[in-house]
């Protein structure tokens, strides 16, 4: 399996090239500095999940495309183990396993997320029409959507518009493990 930092660097360069964007224009679209984008492309920096989301939204691509190659065309039965693919982007308290990376034929990615104790992050709105569905598997998590905090416990599920401001926080002393589907309208 390719080193995650190398995959991110190569994918960012390729997406920018495919979209015929200079670093200046990419910075303008994503809200991430030209210097930071250059460092990521050279494999010199490990961006936070917040930064990855800004890049994904600005380029109109899925988050998981920067974490792992697409599962596009995967039509046979496949079993994956989350502990084998978990990643700690920038060590900011969120662990990600792209269980099934974005597939344009299906329009979604399926992720396991582990929010470590004390994790608290506001998320910028994603591209128009993005929907998030989150099911708490272990622990408890609070999610802000439509200006209201929703307290979720094991077994509870929430669906909310990812294209509006939203936030996640784990105020407990235990990790919160969730499964999430992020649906991107009209493919990417």
Q: What share of the chain is helix, strand, coil (3-state, %, to 5)?
A: 30, 30, 40
Quick one: pLDDT at residue 86? 72
Both tokens assigned to 61:
């691509």
Does residue 29 sit within a domain?
yes
Quick one: pLDDT at residue 91? 62
Quick one: pLDDT at residue 66? 86
| Whether residue 54 is found in the same domain as residue 121 | no
- The CA distance from 50 to 73, in Å, is 28
Does residue 73 sit within a domain?
no
Does residue 151 sit within a domain?
yes
| Whether residue 96 is found in the same domain as residue 177 | yes
Quick one: pLDDT at residue 49? 80
Quick one: pLDDT at residue 157? 98
Q: Find tokens 């308290």 and name the residue.
A: 93
C-alpha 179, offset from chain centre: 12
| Whether residue 60 is found in the same domain as residue 88 | no
Low-confidence residues in the chain, pLDDT < 70? 1-2, 4, 69-74, 87-91, 187-188
| Whether residue 101 is found in the same domain as residue 10 | no
Quick one: pLDDT at residue 139? 98
| Whether residue 54 is found in the same domain as residue 89 | no
| Whether residue 90 is found in the same domain as residue 176 | yes
E strands, the chain, in order: 94-103, 108-115, 120-123, 131-138, 140-145, 148-153, 157-161, 166-169, 176-183
Quick one: pLDDT at residue 113? 94
Quick one: pLDDT at residue 188? 52
What is the residue range of 46's domain?
Answer: 4-66
Does residue 160 sit within a domain?
yes
Whole-prediction pTM value?
0.80
Quick one: pLDDT at residue 47? 86
Quick one: pLDDT at residue 72? 58
| Whether residue 98 is found in the same domain as residue 167 | yes
| Whether residue 29 is found in the same domain as residue 96 | no
Quick one: pLDDT at residue 31? 92
Does residue 77 sit within a domain?
no
Report which of 82, 80, 113 is spatially closest to residue 95, judged by C-alpha positions: 113
- The count of domains in the chain is 2
């Amino acid at each position: 399996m390719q080193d995650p930092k190398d995959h991110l660097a190569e994918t960012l360069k390729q997406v920018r090239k495919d979209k015929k964007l200079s670093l200046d224009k990419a910075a303008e679209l994503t809200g991430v500095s030209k210097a930071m984008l250059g460092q990521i492309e050279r494999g010199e920096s490990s961006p936070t999940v917040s930064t990855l989301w800004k890049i994904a939204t600005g380029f109109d691509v899925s988050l998981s495309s920067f974490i792992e190659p697409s599962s596009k065309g995967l039509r046979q039965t496949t079993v994956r183990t989350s502990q084998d693919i978990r990643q700690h982007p920038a060590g900011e308290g969120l662990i990600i396993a792209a269980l099934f990376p974005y597939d344009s034929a299906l329009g979604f990615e399926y992720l396991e997320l582990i929010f470590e104790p004390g994790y608290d992050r506001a998320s910028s709105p994603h591209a128009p029409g993005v929907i998030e569905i989150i099911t708490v598997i272990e622990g408890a998590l609070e999610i802000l959507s439509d200006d209201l905090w929703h307290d979720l416990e094991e077994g509870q599920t929430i669906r909310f518009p990812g294209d509006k401001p939203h936030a996640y926080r784990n105020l407990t002393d235990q990790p919160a493990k969730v499964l999430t589907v992020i649906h991107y309208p009209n493919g990417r």
